[in-house]
Structures are given as C-alpha cells and as structure tokens.
Amino acid sequence: MLPLPLRCFLAALLAMLPAGSVVAGEQVFRHDYLEHSDTFVEIETLFGSVAKQGSLPYRITIRNQSGRPRVWTVTMSEGNQGRPLTTKATHRIEVENGAEVIREVTLPFSPAFLAYDYRNLTIEVSSPGLPSESRQTGEQTPQDFPLIGMSKALAERSLTRLDGEVRNANSSNPYFAKLFEPEHLPVEWVGYTGLDLILLDEPAWKSLTSAQRQALVSWIRLGGRLDLYGESEIDPASLDLPIAASKGRDLPATLSLGRIYFRTWDGREVPDSHLAFYREAHQAADALNNEFQQNWDLQSGFGIKKFNPTLVFLLLLAFAILVAPVNLFYLAKPGRRHRLFITTPIISIVTCVLIVLLILLIDGVGGKGHRVVLADLQPGKGENRLYLTQEQISRTGVMLTSGFETDRPFEINPVNLPPSQFNPLSQYGRRSATYEINGGRYEGEFFRSRSEQAFSLRTAEPGRARIEAVGEEGGTPVLVSNLSQEIVAFLYRDPEGELWISPAGTVVAPGQRIPLERAKSQASPDWMKETIALFSKSRQDQILALTEPHRFFAQVRDPEAFALPTHPSLRWEKTALLLTGTPSGEITPAP
C-alpha cells in the first residue's frame, strides 16, 4: 500500500488534470477518500463524455473500505445557463464494506436544437458521513458531422489521421470518431443511441457476447447503422446476423429501420477515401431538429391552436373597472372607505375564481393528442422482440403533474416544433425545463400546463406475438396469426418477392389462418400509404425501404394495444399503427 503522503500527492495530481483532456474510454470522474484507504468512486466513459442527442453509457465503479456499508448518490447532468432544457440522471448505489460495485448507467442528452455544440457534463457524488464531491467537464461536439464510434483495431493507426482530415475540412468538427474497446460495449441498446454510426472490425464482432450482439441488433433495427470491416469480403452467414446476404460492398443490408454496410480494409489502416462514406451519413440530431417544423402530416391533422387573449382581457378590464371606479365611488364611496378592506379582497378573489374557471372551460384538465406507431415483430434468431417507434404530438390544458411513470420504459426525445405561444421550448416560450429519467420514471416538465409538445419514442421489448409461416398450398403462402388482436388488413411479400394481400373486409381472429390472394399491383395499398405518411420524413424513407422478401405489413382492430403510454391524463384522439415484421418459420411447398 502506498504511503499516505504519496497517495495525497497522486490525488492532488489527478484533481489538477484539465477536464477537457478526457478522451473516450477514460475517466470523467475519480475521487479517492484519503481518510479511508482504498475507498474511491470512479466514472468512465465509453463513447466520449457528451453527445448531441440520445444517451451515452458510463461505468460507475465504487470501492468501499470505510469500515461500514454505505449508500452513494451519483448525479449526472448536462446543460448550462441560458439553455431551455437540462437532462439529469440520479443513481443510488449501495456498497457493502469491503466490496466493490460496478454499475453500467446511461445519461440522456438534450437534442441539438435545444443546446450548443459545446456540451457540459456535471457529476456530483455524495454519501452520508463523507464529503461531497463534484466535477464538470466539457467537450465540443461535431457541428455537421455524424457521431461515430470506432473500434480499437480500426482506430489504432487511422484515427489520428482521420481526425485531422475532418478538422481541416471544418474546424467546428473536432474529430472523426470516438475510440472504444469492443469488450466494453453496452448490453442495453439505449447506450448506443448517442451515436449515428459504429465502425467495427470483423474479429471484434465475433468476440462480442450474445448480450452485446443483441443490444447492437436492437439499436440497428430501430434506425442505427453498423459498418463492419473485414480484410476480405465478409460472409454475413458467418456473423450470426438476422440478414440473408450482402447486396455488395458499397450497398447496405437492411435490418428493419437500420443498415449494415460491409467494408474491406488491409487490416492496418482505414484509407482516407472512406471519409466519403460518412460525410453525408444520416444524423439523428438533424432529424429531430428539421423534420417536425413543417410538412409533418401528424401535426397537420392535429391542428394548430392560436392564443386568444380576448376573454382574459375583457375579464381583467372588468376587474379594473370594479376595483377602481366602481369600488371607490360606489361600493366604498367617501365616508365608507373602510369597506375597501372587504370589497377589494372579494372582487380580487371572485376575479381569480372566474379566471380559473375560464381557463378550465377553454383548456380543460389533462390534454389530447395524436400519435403514430411502427411495431416491428421479430421472432427469429433468438430475438423474440417487439421494436416500437412512435411519434406523437399533444396539447395540454391544466395538468396536476408534468412527469409520469410507466411499466414500459423507452427512449424519449423532444422534437423541434414550430415556434408558438404554446411551445415552451421555442423562442416564444423561453421556459426552462429539466428532464430526469430513471427506469420507468420520467420526472420533470415533460407535459406542462397549457403547452404543446411532441416527442419521438423508441423501445425494444421482449414479446412472443408473431405471424407464423406454416407452408404453402397450391402456390399460396399459408400464414397463421398468433397476435392478441384481430387483423383487419394484411400484406405479405413472399421469399420470391411476390405480393399477397388479404381480401377487402377480411377480419382475422387470433389463431386463425390469414386468407391471401395475389396482389394485382406492386404498389402499396392505401391504408399502408396513409399510415406511413404520418411519420417524419426520415422515418418514412426507412419504412419505404423495407422491401426485403418474407416481410409482412398489417393493421389491427385496436392499435392502442401496441402504443407506448406516456402521461395518463392525455386523451389520444387518434392512434395510427403500422404493424410489420418477419414471420416465424419458412414458406415451403406442401407435399
């Protein structure tokens, strides 16, 4: 064990290190409790300390040699003064004496339209009986370049050079990618949502655990992008991925809403020419910023409410007349001025009650909204997952609470609505808010009174619901519904690429065979087009690209059953659902 003076010197040296010097995969916080030998709190980052949107993973390590069990409270927050939104995550970690606990956590970040390119991360650590500690670090995020994670093997000889190329092209983009150790990749898909792309070498993919692979597959299915690098052409069948085959070196394989590209390299350096693959890559931050301000059909159908101050103005004018001339010259005229102590409070209370009643009459209690859901059922390859992508817009009246709880946790991001008096995060609103997410608890100003808000939600849930492929009869695919809902419309693209639809007016109950007839046109049916049109532009493009064989699309009787619940006081006037997925089993001709 090191002598106490040396430990003090090392602790002081760590404290003097500049916060901005932190790099991906290293510490963002460490505190050694010198009064208790070998007791410390350490927080490491995997993909960098900050992001432009989504969530980043962190690893908290606490060792307790203080002589008794303790509970540490670790609070991580991002945001600074002048920004309308702050995000926060608080974790309580119990550590027995003589034990070490490692906790994998995530922190959500405000979307780019509510923040600056330079982001701050604040960490506060406390435990009863020990001094509280805090650290703040900051980092510049790319202005117009995607956020990329790059495995160590790919980055070892290439990252410094590629970082320089990106900076030279635009000094507001400080780096090409963040280096990470593949063995430390998260086992929860949410930990990848702060990235737009992941670059991974083939040996690293094969070394991942099944939990890490499933997390990556979930992230890709919900819109992520993975670039796999091999020293020779990669055979997808060797990767244990739920895709049929590669479409070519420069063409992606589709995995639900996401993409997988297969690249080749020499095993030493990633060439500069590969920068062209990433300069124009899709950025989630841009979608949240630009795709909901106009030409969003879900908002158009919901309508725009304008603030009408006429009734409130008339009520306040009546109050002014009553409390001044009427009160002074009639109710409490000269000689009866003592009545002011009675009449003035009565007039004020009555006016306040009338204003409250007026607000309740106009806005009501709770709120209303519209939402559209894409539900993707994937039963194969050990997944058994339901992937949900939901976009929603709502308008609230009087809300007793602005936060909510749910037993179906999800990722939630506010989207950039047009400026208005009802949009609290717009230039007219200028109201600050704090979002704190902890499991299924969503605390903070998510749904404030008399406001308008829109969110993009995503989640991956375990599920056994499926459409079963049981064979073929007379050249017609045989599919059976194993859903809990009645199917009212159905389309299926068979392994040969032929389209089949259910006859108009068909209702398929759970457990029944789905009647199919060959489609007369390769065009999507109207019910499918109308639902897809309600999504944002990039989501529409991703859904329209779902053209691989052996995939179905459907509508069910009760779409509410698939929708993600948010605030219980909201009344959903419209819930549109597009159900899709891969049938379990194969289509083989009957003997």
Q: What is the DSSP letter of 563?
A: S
Which residue in 569, 536, 555, 565 sits closest to 300, CA to CA? 536
Q: What is the DSSP letter of 513?
A: B
Sheet-wide strand order for 551-556: 411-414, 452-462, 385-396, 367-378, 570-581, 551-556, 487-493, 499-501, 517-518
pLDDT in tens, 300-359: 999 877 666 666 677 677 777 776 776 666 776 777 766 777 777 777 887 777 767 766
pLDDT, residue 361, reads: 66
Q: Please count the helices (runs of H) and the strands (runs of E) in the chain.
A: 12, 28
Q: What is the DSSP letter of 508?
A: B
Is the whole-model pTM more than 0.75? yes
pLDDT, residue 501, reads: 96
Which residue in 53, 81, 273 sits closest to 142, CA to CA? 53
Work out the number of other CB atoms within 10 angstroms of the CB of residue 113: 21
Q: What is the DSSP letter of 584?
A: B
Asked if residues 438 and 490 have their Cβ atoms less than 8 Å apart, the reply is: no
pLDDT, residue 275, reads: 94
pLDDT in tens, 365-414: 889 999 999 999 999 877 899 999 999 999 999 899 999 999 999 999 99
Element (H, E) at 412: strand 411-414
- 163 CB-near residues (< 8 Å, 6+ apart): 174, 175, 176, 177
Element (H, E) at 200: strand 197-201
What distance in Å separates the CA atoms of residue 317 and residue 332, rounded to the nearest whole number? 19
Residue 554 φ/ψ, nearest 5 degrees: -155, 165
pLDDT, residue 375, reads: 97
Q: Are strands 225-230 and 197-201 parallel, antiparallel or unpaired?
A: parallel
Q: Are strands 452-462 and 487-493 parallel, antiparallel or unpaired?
A: unpaired
